[in-house]
């Protein structure tokens, strides 16, 4: 996987822009405080896809899940929350937008809720998710021009917290950074040789974890009873030619492919990766069996529109935080 570092270019604040497009319930405070000018340009991608990435750092750990166990604090297994520090068991689509700060690039332009289960090593030490990158991409399967902004208030879950056998690699992906492959790829810098459980990565290697959310929406429901049925994965394109898949007729609206991406260094202290476990992994099952994550849309609608139109529809590589129009999200300070 090609990991892209945040730009170190000198940035200056830009004047506040006009109001966002649409009804914009997300625009609770001046979002442009989180937008700055950058000297770096968003270049066209050679593979014909579009990509945008953003950092959202750890904020807290809690036994909460406001989608699965709303208003029931402590009812869930342990989750690590990223970005929005206010997310707890009582969070809903309205209170999500009341956050006055976040640990994401751009600050309050992105009040989204992101959470995943805690990951522990064999000694019972939690493995921190350091500098996670959240991807918003066209993905390799759908035509870039078909992507539209995710609607305000959308909520969804990827993966299965109660899985007893390994999940499909469409959603849950693991690989060692040292791996190489001769198989056809959409992008050689992003090899798709993942497996669905934690691999045996050597000490000194890096374990890469990717959780991919479905990107086909039914166009009606912002959530569903299981927080998954209103969404679907597209049919798959075949490498090396992207964009030949499609959304099913039941879920015809293509939104950005959202994925959570983590890198964890394998050291003597962490022990072997095959001994690591997510909190819900059942005894006797391979590590990684229950990888899952939740997402609640808390983006400024104007910024989401700019990401889609400038980066995804226009097939540009917007790196980390670039908005494709000469501006970028103000980088969050990295630990």
Q: Specify the pTM.
A: 0.90
Looking at residue 189, its pLDDT comes to 85
Looking at residue 23, its pLDDT comes to 34
Looking at residue 30, its pLDDT comes to 46
Closest CA to 248 of 266, 227, 232: 232
Looking at residue 13, its pLDDT comes to 32
Structure tokens at 314: 């226009």
Q: What is the pLDDT along the chain (335 residues), one digit of tens a residue?
A: 433 333 333 232 333 333 333 333 444 444 578 999 987 999 999 999 999 999 999 999 999 999 999 999 999 999 999 999 999 999 999 999 999 999 999 999 999 999 999 999 999 999 999 999 999 999 999 999 999 999 999 999 999 999 999 999 999 999 999 999 988 999 988 988 999 999 999 999 999 999 999 999 999 999 999 999 999 999 999 999 999 999 999 999 999 999 999 999 999 999 999 999 999 999 999 999 999 999 999 999 999 999 999 999 999 999 999 999 999 999 999 97
Closest CA to 105 of 88, 83, 75: 83
Helix, strand counts (H, E) of the chain? 1, 20
Phi, psi torsion values for 70, nearest 5 degrees: -65, 135
| Whether residue 240 has a cis bond before it, omega within 30° of 0 | yes
Question: Which H or E run includes 262?
Answer: strand 257-265
Structure tokens at 163: 């899985």
Neighbours of 118 (CB within 10 A): 18
List the end-to-end C-alpha distance of the chain, in Å, as a whole number. Answer: 22
Looking at residue 15, its pLDDT comes to 32
SS3 36: strand
> Do the bridges between strand 316-320 and strand 51-55 make them parallel or antiparallel, or are there none, so unpaired?
parallel
DSSP letter for each residue of 230-256: TEEPPPPP-TT--S-----TTS-EE--
- The span from the CA of 307 to the CA of 136, in Å, is 8
* CA-derived radius of gyration, the chain: 19
Looking at residue 33, its pLDDT comes to 84
Looking at residue 188, its pLDDT comes to 85
Structure tokens at 25: 């319930």
């Amino acid at each position: 996987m090609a990991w892209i570092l945040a730009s170190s270019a000198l940035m200056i604040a830009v004047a506040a822009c006009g109001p966002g497009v649409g009804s914009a319930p997300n625009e609770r405070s001046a979002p442009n405080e989180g937008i700055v000018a950058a000297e770096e340009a968003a270049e066209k991608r050679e593979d014909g896809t579009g990509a945008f990435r953003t950092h959202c750092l750890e904020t807290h750990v809690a036994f909460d899940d406001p989608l699965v166990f709303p208003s029931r604090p402590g009812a869930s297994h342990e989750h690590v929350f990223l970005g929005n520090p206010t997310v707890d068991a009582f969070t809903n689509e309205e209170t999500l937008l009341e956050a006055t700060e976040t640990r994401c690039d751009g600050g309050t332009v992105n009040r989204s809720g992101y959470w995943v289960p805690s990951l522990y090593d064999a000694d019972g030490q939690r493995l921190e998710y350091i500098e996670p990158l959240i991807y918003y991409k066209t993905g390799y399967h759908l035509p870039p021009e078909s992507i539209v902004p995710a609607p305000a208030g959308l909520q969804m879950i990827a993966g299965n917290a109660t899985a007893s056998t390994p999940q499909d690699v469409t959603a849950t992906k693991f690989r060692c950074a040292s791996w190489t492959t001769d198989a056809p790829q959409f992008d050689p810098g992003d090899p798709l040789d993942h497996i669905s459980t934690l691999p045996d990565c050597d000490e000194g290697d890096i374990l890469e974890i990717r959780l991919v959310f479905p990107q086909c929406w039914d166009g009606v429901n912002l959530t569903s009873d299981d927080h998954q049925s209103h969404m679907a994965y597209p049919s798959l394109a075949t490498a090396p030619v992207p964009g030949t898949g499609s959304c099913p007729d039941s879920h015809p609206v293509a939104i950005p492919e959202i994925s959570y991406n983590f890198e964890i260094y394998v050291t003597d202290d962490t022990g072997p990766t095959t001994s690591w476990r997510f909190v819900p992994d059942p005894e006797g099952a391979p590590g990684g069996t229950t990888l899952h994550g939740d997402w609640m849309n808390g983006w400024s609608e104007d910024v989401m529109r700019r990401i889609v139109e400038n980066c995804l529809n226009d097939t540009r590589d917007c790196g980390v935080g670039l908005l494709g129009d000469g501006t970028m999200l103000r980088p969050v300070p990295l630990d």
